[in-house]
Amino acid sequence: MTRRISHWIGGKPWTGEPERTGEVFDPATGEVRARVDLAGAGQLAEAVEAAAAAFPGWRDTSLAGRTRVLFAFRELLVARRDELARVITDEHGKVLSDAAGEVQRAIENVEYACGAPQLLKGGFSENASRGVDVYSIAQPLGVVGVISPFNFPAMVPLWFVPNALACGNTVVLKPSEKDPSAANLIAELFAEAGLPDGVLNVLHGDAVAVDGLLRHPTVKAISFVGSTPVARHVYETGTAEGKRVQALGGAKNHMVVLPDADLDLAADAAVSAGFGSAGERCMAVSVVVAVDPVGDELVSKVTERMQALRVGDGRDPGSEMGPLVTAAHRERVASYLDAGVAEGAELVVDGRRLDVGGGGFWLGPTLFDHVRPGMSVHSDEIFGPVLSVVRVSSYDEALELVNANPYGNGTAIFTNDGGAARRFQNEIEVGMVGVNVPIPVPVGYYSFGGWKDSLFGDSHAYGPEGFHFFTRTKVVTSRWLDPSHGGVNLGFPRNM
Ligand code: NAD
């Protein structure tokens, strides 16, 4: 019997008959591990109704009561981090140490949300006018939808869910249908931590569930992470429906290496950030921009390191890189190898030569040199273990190349010149910048977000902007009458 993965609605697993189901694979063997229910209109309505019914009670739960649940959830996550990492690896394919890193970054966001009593303090101005006080209150929005991609099945949901809950909202989480189990474990741990039924619901599904959430009048806001075309669709549809939307999209992250850089450090960074999680990270480095004359030496150092990488089943502690998530994605990524060659790039390392055996979705680390703008390997987000090297003659050419790219998620510069790095951080049109740091994912008390086609909306994810996104502000102007009450006055209120 294939295991069934179903929705979590109103504090318990959904036990109805699904109209549609999807296959969930073990990417290392290619076998079907489970079948996931794909929501239709009925389950969508049930999940939203459960969240709406839970909202008044959760909204009025004290700050202490809400954060107590978050502290307890944090303890459970820490205690069961290995189990969650294993669930991620089984369905995503990434190696266990990488999955453990994902869980650790998720825990950071829970820890931030535990600061809600401090973070939700409003402002207070005594005597804004004589005898008049003005103060602001941050209130929850209501039912919010969180829609997440396959590549971080625990971390991305936990970029949003803890902050949304801390602010007093109730949530319908729609995880990726490719690796849905992590979301259910998260919901179970929240229930064990004391979260009331219906405050967090998990609705499994595909575009049908997403479009349903976007159009449901009870859903007040949507936090989305995924590819750029879907992010744009989510933003346009959700805002047209009058919702608050933040939609984080795809990426093409460039790492610029200046001639004065430490090339061993740069080569280590390019290989780690290019092939970690098989390149299936929105902050992966996919293009190395080598400023003359470092190209030859850098390509040789990167190639040397790639040849030592151990690719295998993510559950094997010896593996450094696992398989791709599905057979279809593996084929799509592999198709870029022929495309790159046809467009004139030099295929230095061909990942198709890798033979791991078994039926998994394998593709080895791949390196292209002499890539030029306009080639599909440069313009498209490949989202796999394919690294491209573009050679340029100057810092200015490197800057122009990165700024001309429609994506603006992450970037990095490798240099020992503080002045050049400072110029780069000022001039680059990208939301997250690393200086000798290849994957500059902000810590939980900053916010995460790209520019241009990498983010639609004006709030970045988690951190202070997350709290801003999940609350709306009310400003109260109050006067308690005293004997100086001046009677009727039809003039516009002036502050005296
Ligand atoms: P995806 O866009 O295919 O799916 C994301 C979510 O949208 C999933 O829940 C999926 O079920 C749903 N979906 C898919 N197609 C849809 C459609 N046509 N209409 C409505 N909903 C739809 O993305 P993915 O393949 O799961 O994830 C990889 C992508 O996510 C990459 O592009 C990556 O760069 C991006 N990503 C971005 C960030 C970021 O912070 N900017 C972080 C992680 C991943």
pLDDT tens-place string over residues 293-330: 999 999 999 999 999 999 999 999 999 999 999 999 99
Residue ID of nearest Cα to ligand 1 atom 15:
207
**CATH pick for 3-249+454-476 out of 3.40.50.300, 3.40.605.10, 3.40.1440.10, 3.20.20.140:** 3.40.605.10
Q: How far is the CA of 287 from the centre of ligand 1 (A)?
A: 21
Angle formed at CA 317 by CA 315 and CA 318, multiple of 5 degrees: 120
Alpha-carbon distance of 10 to 430, in angstroms, equals 40
Give yes or no for residue 157 CB within 6 A of ligand 1. Answer: no
Residue ID of nearest Cα to ligand 1 atom 40:
248
- Domain range summary for the chain, segments of one domain joined by +: 3-249+454-476, 253-435
Q: How far is the CA of 149 from the centre of ligand 1 (A)?
A: 4
Spatial contact of 355 and 361, defined as CB atoms under 8 Å apart = no
Give yes or no for residue 177 CB within 6 A of ligand 1. Answer: yes
Specify whether domain 253-435 bears CATH 3.40.309.10: yes
Spatial contact of 288 and 388, defined as CB atoms under 8 Å apart = yes
Tell me the DSSP string of 159-212: HHHHHHHHTT-EEEEE--SSS-HHHHHHHHHHHHTTPPTTSEEE---SHHHHHH
- 3-class state of residue 309 by DSSP: coil
Is pTM, for the whole model, over 0.95? yes
Q: How far is the CA of 231 from the centre of ligand 1 (A)?
A: 7
Give yes or no for residue 454 CB within 6 A of ligand 1. Answer: yes
- 3-class state of residue 133 by DSSP: strand
ipTM: 0.99
Tell me the DSSP string of 50-91: HHHHHHHHHHTS-HHHHHHHHHHHHHHHHHTHHHHHHHHHHH
Residue ID of nearest Cα to ligand 1 atom 17:
207
Alpha-carbon Rg of the chain, whole angstroms? Answer: 25
Question: Could you identify the atom of ligand 1 that is nearest to the CA of residue 383?
Answer: 31
H-state helical runs in 227-374: 228-240, 263-275, 295-307, 327-342
Q: How far is the CA of 389 from the centre of ligand 1 (A)?
A: 26
Two structure tokens written together for 319: 């593996």
Give yes or no for residue 21 CB within 6 A of ligand 1. Answer: no
Q: Which residues are catalytic?
A: 282
Q: How far is the CA of 474 from the centre of ligand 1 (A)?
A: 34
Determine how many CB atoms are found less than 10 A away from the CB of residue 315: 16
Give yes or no for residue 326 CB within 6 A of ligand 1. Answer: no
Please give the chain's pLDDT, 496 residues, in tens.
799 999 999 999 999 999 999 999 999 999 999 999 999 999 999 999 999 999 999 999 999 999 999 999 999 999 999 999 999 999 999 999 999 999 999 999 999 999 999 999 999 999 999 889 999 999 999 999 999 999 999 999 999 999 999 999 999 999 999 999 999 999 999 999 999 999 999 999 999 999 999 999 999 999 999 999 999 999 999 999 999 999 999 999 999 999 999 999 999 999 999 999 999 999 999 999 999 999 999 999 999 999 999 999 999 999 999 999 999 999 999 999 999 999 999 999 999 999 898 899 999 999 999 999 999 999 999 999 999 999 999 999 999 999 999 999 999 999 999 999 999 999 999 999 999 999 999 999 999 999 999 999 999 999 999 999 999 999 999 999 876 667 888 989 888 7
Residue ID of nearest Cα to ligand 1 atom 39:
248
